[in-house]
Amino acid sequence: MARDQIGDRFEKRRDKRKLSDMAQRALSTEETEAEEQAIAAAKAEREKDPDKYRLKADAQVGRNDPCPCGSGKKFKKCCGAAK
């Protein structure tokens, strides 16, 4: 009789765990579907006006400009001297 009670408790816990796992899977699929829809909408927006979303290259550093490495020296005396 004691074994049946223990087995019943084990089965109840296992069933509860299965239900919670299934609920989380459903939630995660809903979230992924929402993310996929948002990505598709963003791609469509970019295709409408690609110039708006184009990345622009940084301006080239002049010889007398401060060095972009952050040393505080002029570019020609720092990283530009190696070139």
Q: For 67-76, what is each residue's pLDDT tens digit?
A: 888 888 898 8
- Burial class from Cβ neighbours inside 10 Å (0-12, 13-18, 19+) for residue 75 reads buried
pLDDT digits (tens, 9 = 90+) for 32-49: 888 889 999 988 988 888
Residue 83: band (very low, low, confident or very high) from pLDDT cuts 50, 70, 90: low
Q: How far is CA 5 from CA 2, 8, 13, in A?
A: 5, 5, 12
Residues 64 and 75: beta-carbon distance below 8 Å: yes
| Residue type for position 65 | D
- Tokens representing 35 are 């993310």
Whole-number average pLDDT of the chain: 81
User: pLDDT confidence of 1, banded at 50, 70, 90?
Assistant: very low
